[in-house]
Amino acid sequence: MEIVFLGTGAGAPTSKRHVSAIALKFDQGSSLWLFDCGEGAQQQFARAKLSLARVSHIFISHLHGDHLFGLPGLLGSRSLQCAATAGLTVFGPQGIADYLRHCFAVTQTKLGYPLTIREFEDDGVLVEDAGVTVTIASLCHGIPSYGFAIQEAPHPGRFFAHLAMQQGIPPGPLYGRLKSGENVVLPDGRLVTAQSVVADPVQGRKVTILGDTAPCEQAAHLAREADVLIGESTFAETESQIAARSHHSTARQIAELARSARVRTLILTHVSARYQDVEDSPDSESHPLLTEARAVFAHTLLAHDFYRYHVNRRDRPRPDPYT
Q: What is the CATH number of the domain that holds 17?
A: 3.60.15.10
Catalytic residue among 27, 36, 66, 280: 66
Average pLDDT of the segment spanning 196-201:
82
Query: Do 189 and 103 fall within a single domain?
Result: no
Query: Do 184 and 77 fall within a single domain?
Result: no
User: Does any domain span residue 232?
Assistant: yes
Helical H runs in 108-216? 161-166, 173-179
Least confidently predicted of 92-101, 113-122, 141-150, 281-290: 281-290
Q: What pLDDT score does 82 carry?
A: 57
Q: Is 66 a catalytic residue?
A: yes
What proportions of the chain, in percent to the nearest 5, are helix, strand and coil?
Answer: 30, 25, 45
Q: 59: Cβ–Cβ under 8 A, 6 or more apart, which residues?
A: 33, 34, 35, 36, 91, 92, 134, 148
Picking from 67, 78, 83, the residue whose alpha carbon sits closest to that of residue 147 is 67
54, 24 Cβ separation under 8 angstroms: no
Is residue 129 pLDDT above 90, yes or no?
no
Is residue 282 pLDDT above 50, yes or no?
no
- Laid out side by side, the sheet with 55-59 consists of 115-120, 88-93, 55-59, 32-37, 21-25, 2-7, 308-310
Average pLDDT of the segment spanning 186-206:
85
Range of the domain at 145: 2-155+202-310
Is residue 94 pLDDT above 70, yes or no?
yes
Identify which of 96-105, 188-197, 283-292 has the greatest average pLDDT: 96-105
Q: What pLDDT score does 316 carry?
A: 53
Query: Do 176 and 111 fall within a single domain?
Result: no
Average pLDDT of the segment spanning 35-46:
96
Q: How many domains does the chain have?
A: 2
User: Does any domain span residue 317?
Assistant: no
Query: Do 91 and 132 fall within a single domain?
Result: yes
Which of 170, 196, 222 is the endpoint of a domain? Answer: 196
138, 188 Cβ separation under 8 angstroms: no
pTM value is 0.86
User: Does any domain span residue 49?
Assistant: yes
Distances, alpha carbon 252 to alpha carbons 83, 258, 286, 290, in Å: 46, 10, 15, 9
Rounded Cα gap, residues 114 and 91, in angstroms: 14
